Structure 1
Amino acid sequence: GGSSVLAVLGLWLVAGHFGTNGSGILASASDGFSIDVHAQWPNGVARLPRRTLNMNHVGRVLRGDVDAWPVAAKVFLVQGANPAVTAVDQVGMLAGLANEEIFSIVHDQVMTDTAKFADVVLPATTHFEVHDLVGSYGSYTAQVIAPVIERVGQSRTNSEFATGLAIRLGFDAAEFNSEPQFIADRIVAQRGESVQLRAIGSTVQFKDTWPTFADKRARLFVAESELPLPKFREPDEKYPLTLISPATSHTINSMFADTDPPRVAVLMNPQDAERRKLTDAQRVVVRNDKASLEIDLVIDETLRPGVCFIPKGLWLRATKSGLTSNAFAPDELNDLASGACFNDARVEVTMA
């Protein structure tokens, strides 16, 4: 969770790794792309206040849990996501998706597990079918995507979907122009606005740049920090194993798990398996207070003792019970940026 991230970010300082090229730490370069492709807010139009909902609590709202949202949800729109298998508290999310009081729409490329709950499914394009411009996610260039096949059926891009919806809601089509050339023109107009802040190779921490404290010294923690100190929590005696669900080379989140999923199994260290009298390829039950899942066991000595692993992104069809690793993840919020606790799931594994 957040404590682990904070501890890792502090390693370079504890080790004294600074003052040379490549030293220090850069948390993220994802906002390095300076081009703005957003439309300007219309002059003379007041911005209405917007409520914010943490995405890890969407299931609570769909179920109608007390105090989850000020009003009952009536419409649920999913675009390019598959929360039935990617959301925390999977059992709770599936219950919310099954709520017949909510009108659900899914805009996607394939019939996902989430789409099966929808009242309406609208076809989305793949990147093979469209002209597009893509901003960076850690680099500093805009990339042009050109179609290589014709549109399939009545599929639309995300932008075209938003434009069509805006027009039907009574907005001016010009305010929601999603034509690739219109967006490209906005990017071209800003090409001369880039700024080089420093010469290449002249941004070495503790040589060219310094902490903002008066004495220019680094601090692992200050009382007024927005982030807490890393904390260690003792393992849960009832559920002593930590279940992690990292990505594999087979999927991107849940994409492609419908055609080429990773092996459906729980991986465990030999010491943990021996302690539980479990053998390789045996059917086992992974369980906690939230869910129970019968699955194959793979003994893997590369895993740390006390840790087990079910691949990320499996679809519901992958298991007999129709659940995956996310069924064990709580919908509590972590101590850093109120993020998900996917790898904070505590479980026990026994013979099936």
Structure 2
Amino acid sequence: MMKLTRRYFLQGIGASAVLGTLTGLAPTKALAMNSYGANTSLLAKRAGTIKYSSCLRNCADRCLMKFSVQNGRMTYVRGADEQYKTGSCPCVKGLTYVEYTYAPDRILHPMVRVGEKGSHKWRRITWEEAWDILIKKTNEVIEQYGSEAILPYSYSGNYGAIGMRGADRFFNRIGSSILDRLVCTEAGVWGYGSVQGTTDGPDPETIPNCDCYVSWGFNETVSNVHGIKLINEARDKGAKVLAVNPNRTPICSQADIYLQPKPSTDAWVATGVMKYLIAHDMIDHDFLKNCCIGADQAIAKVNSVDWKDIERVTGLTQKQIEEFADVYGHAERIIIRAGYGMQRNYNGARMTRAIAIMQAMRGMFDKPSCGIIYDNVRPITGMNLNLGRGNYLRKGKQQHVNMTDLDMALKAENPTTENRPIKPIHLLVIYNGNPVAVSPNVNAVIENLKRKDLFVVGFDMIMTDSLEYCDLILPASTQFETDDIIGDYHSWYVQICEKVIEPVGESKPNWDFFAEWGRRMGFKDQAFRDTPKDIIRQFLQTETPWYQGITLERLEKEKFIHLDMPESVPVRSGGKAETESSKIELYSNIMKKAGFDPVIDLALCEEEMPEEEKNLPFRLLSPGIPQRVNSSFYNVKYIRAYNAYECEVNPEDAKRLGIKSGDKVRLNNQRGEAFFVARVTTRVAPGVVRTAKCNWRSTNPYGQNTNTNSLTTGKLTDMGGCSAYHSTRVNLSKA
């Protein structure tokens, strides 16, 4: 009999291979339906027509799911176990997709506001009435202010190739302001890119062959839970797991060595690791000589930093960092899984750059099972985005607006974005997004949304906090009510998103709505007559090598296709990095031109905070939590029981302030206040508190109309125009 291990059962394939070897326990349909105690009414939901659709949330897993459909109604969801990446079971959120789709609060009809913005007063109207209002207002705004007075607001509520960016065709054609969707990863794009020229790294399916996995600023249980089986496979082969995170995650608890530094001191941690590597000759001299520039400057910079300063800044001891560095220095195949949250700081690009330099010191590029996995976007960027998104429809130059800047960009007078003046916005179209939950400094955003001269259109499936401030609400379909495809941004796949059911109520899929809006505006372009399947074919009409031979028909047959992509940083094998020098740059002119240290910049966030904030006693972290995806799933019954309004407090701070678990607490700073329930835990260090990101105001039971982003900074990161949510300080008190 085969050897059974705990991890074998947890590899995400439903354990059917193992169970099949145990007589009478193979989970076949016939046995399950007739087994003692089976709930036949529930099991019957698994019957019917099977449709395959990928999860289009903003998550690195990108699960492929199988839906049962009976009499036109979705009845059951499970993982597509023929894809090893997904296995037989989606995450806790994916398991709720049937309830999500048929949620009792779905918006099924158009509505127009009849009270003040935020008064919750609406009147149901027909689609024809809605179109009359929308077309009239669109023409009025263009005639009075110009097309740049129109701004779309969207991000990752639907991550499909069409669902996410098909609407670009409409906004390109009408000549609206251009929304720069930089909220998520851009500081890391610049930081890692300044070293290796790309954010793309190795195939995650090679993780089992590395001998050291480093989780740096990442929480796998939030947005990569299916990737944990790959880490466990590596551990079964003897690999070590290292973790760095100011908020202790489950992987941190299971790591061989875990470092819990003060927030945004990661460049100092990486410098300490490099000091040890250099002192013990654990650097790859040949790689630094042949594949890098600036190695001598980097070594000199590292050696100039004193251990006492590293200990003071990070809150870690030299011994802790050296224990970490010793394991890292002895490994031969290292993959770093770099998180997104850590780079959402004023020094985000500079921190991520230091981590990439550390990996270069070990020569961990262009080798099997080596590199940095941050944002593997080639499955997306390899598509024909110009054709699929209709970029060719835009004529002339229009102003850009950073989506993180709504507190400044939506002002009635003297609006700005990225500290530059812009023309005022008078028509805002919200879809695939929820700015009242997601935007930093949200109290200021809400005041902007209340402007009488700003007409706000909300196109969504449920009444989000943002829709409360809309003038016109239109019912959107879910991702399961249309056809689409998706390229992964973690694993190397492109996957199908089959239409599972017809649109519910009077809802319209994203593309159907924007295409009809365009036609009703008089646009005669073929782009507005294309069907979703036409657009899918256009996305796949590309010269990108790894997309050759991939067609819609093949995807419909195979459901998912692994992309045969080349090494992203081929500096060892005779290729070139996508940097100015074509090598890995430990000295960067990009950083120098930006006004930073061209090697390693060790500046801290507090140096850039307003005076009234920098001396507040607590640093606020607001990462994701496993039971939500950004602002999604807040209306789902089985998800609501998982608290998204906890405030984690270290026991030392809790004792000093007289706070116990379960107490209602107040966080505040110059931007506002928010209320939570305390959870006393060592998951955070003294001087740090943690709440969940992007939580809704309307569902906060501890202080309605307050949320985490009532407190967070709207100032952007050092490079890339990214959000800097975590560069926020607050007061904490018992409420």
- Calculate the aligned-residue CA RMSD, in Å: 3.3
Candidates 313, 320, 333, aligned match of 2:703: 320
How far apart in 1 are the matches of 2:547 and 2:397? 34
The answer on whether the counterparts of 1:128 and 1:147 sit within 8 Å (CA) in structure 2 is yes
Residue among 588, 604, 612 paired with 1:222 = 588
Unpaired runs of 5+ in structure 1?
Answer: none
Inter-partner Cα distance in structure 2 for 1:189 and 1:217: 32
For residue 5 of structure 1, the aligned residue among 321, 330, 352 is 352
**Cα contact 1:87–1:326 (8 A) shared by 2:** yes
Match of 2:424 in 1: 72
Per-residue CA deviation, residues 26-68 of structure 1 (Å, 9 max, x unaligned), is 543213442215439799x882111101112223232324242
The 1:213/1:59 distance shift into structure 2, 3 A limit, reads: closer
* Deviations 1:105-149 (CA, angstroms, capped at 9, x unpaired): 011111111111111111111122112233343455443222222
Pairing partner for 2:623 from 232, 246, 256: 246
* Residue aligning to 1:56: 404
Residues 1:290 and 2:637 are matched in the alignment? no
What pairs with 1:157-168 in structure 2 (closer than 5 Å)? Answer: 157-168=509-520
Deviates more, 1:198-207 or 1:156-165: 198-207
- Return the alpha-carbon distance in structure 1 between the equivalents of residues 583 and 546 of structure 2: 31
| Shift in alpha-carbon separation, 1:165–1:269, aligned structure 2, 3 A | same
Structure-2 separation of matches of 1:288 and 1:132? 43
Greater CA drift, 144-153 or 111-120: 144-153
Name the SS of the counterpart of 1:134 in structure 2. Answer: strand
Question: Residues of 2 paired with 1:176 and 1:240: CA distance?
Answer: 54
CA distance in 1, matches of 2:617, 2:697: 26
Q: Is the 8 A contact 1:123 1:154 kept in 2?
A: yes
Between 1:182-191 and 1:237-246, the stretch displaced more is 182-191
Name the counterpart of 2:505: 153
Alignment map for 1:258-337 (pairs within 5 Å):
258-259=635-636, 260-261=639-640, 262-263=642-643, 264-317=645-698, 318=700, 319-337=702-720
Distance of 2:424 and 2:590 partners within structure 1: 38
SS in 1 for 2:534: helix
Say if 2:649 and 2:684, in contact at 8 Å, map to a contact too: yes
Change (3 A) 1:320 1:215: closer
Q: Which whole-Å CA distance do the structure 2 matches of 1:214 and 1:256 have between them?
A: 43
- CA–CA separation in structure 2 for the residues paired with 1:125 and 1:180: 14
The answer as to whether partners of 2:511 and 2:532 remain within 8 angstroms in 1 is no
Instruction: Report whether the alignment pairs 1:90 with 2:461.
Output: no
Structure 2: give runs of 5+ residues left out of the alignment. 1-344, 549-563, 607-612
Question: Partners in 2 of 1:199 and 1:103 — Cα distance?
Answer: 45
Distance 2:658 2:616 in 1: 17
Deviation (angstroms), 1:224: 4.4
Q: Which residue identity lines up with residue 387 of structure 2 in the other structure?
A: A
Change over 3 Å in CA distance of 1:96–1:224 after alignment to 2: closer
- Once the two structures are TM-superposed, the CA of residue 341 in structure 1 deviates from its matched residue by 1.0
CA distance in 2, matches of 1:188, 1:305: 51
Taking structure 1 as reference, are residues 158 and 293 closer, same or farther at Cα in structure 2, changes over 3 Å only? same
- Contact 1:86/1:326 (CA < 8 Å) preserved in 2? yes
Query: Is 1:22–2:376 an aligned residue pair?
Result: no
Q: Could you report, residue by residue, the CA deviation over 1:287-310 in whole angstroms, capped at 9, with x for unpaired residues?
A: 111112232111111212322111
Tell me by how many angstroms 1:206 deviates.
3.6
Secondary structure of 2:473's partner?
strand
- Contact 2:385/2:391, CA 8 A, preserved across alignment: no
* Residues 185-194 or 207-216, more deviating: 207-216
Q: CA deviation at 1:76?
A: 0.9
Instruction: Tell me the amino acid that sits aligned with residue 587 of structure 2.
Output: F
| Alignment match of 1:116 (pick from 468, 473, 478) | 468
Letter in 2 for 1:279: K
Q: Deviations over 1:182-207 (max 9, x none)?
A: 124335654896479x9978976545
User: Which of 569, 592, 603 in structure 2 is aligned with 1:232?
Assistant: 603
SS at match of 1:128: helix
Q: Is the 8 A contact 2:428 2:454 kept in 1?
A: yes
Q: Please name the residue that 1:338 is paired with.
A: 721
- Structure 1 match to 2:734: 351
The percent of aligned pairs where both chains have the same amino acid is 20
1-structure distance, mates of 2:656, 2:452: 46
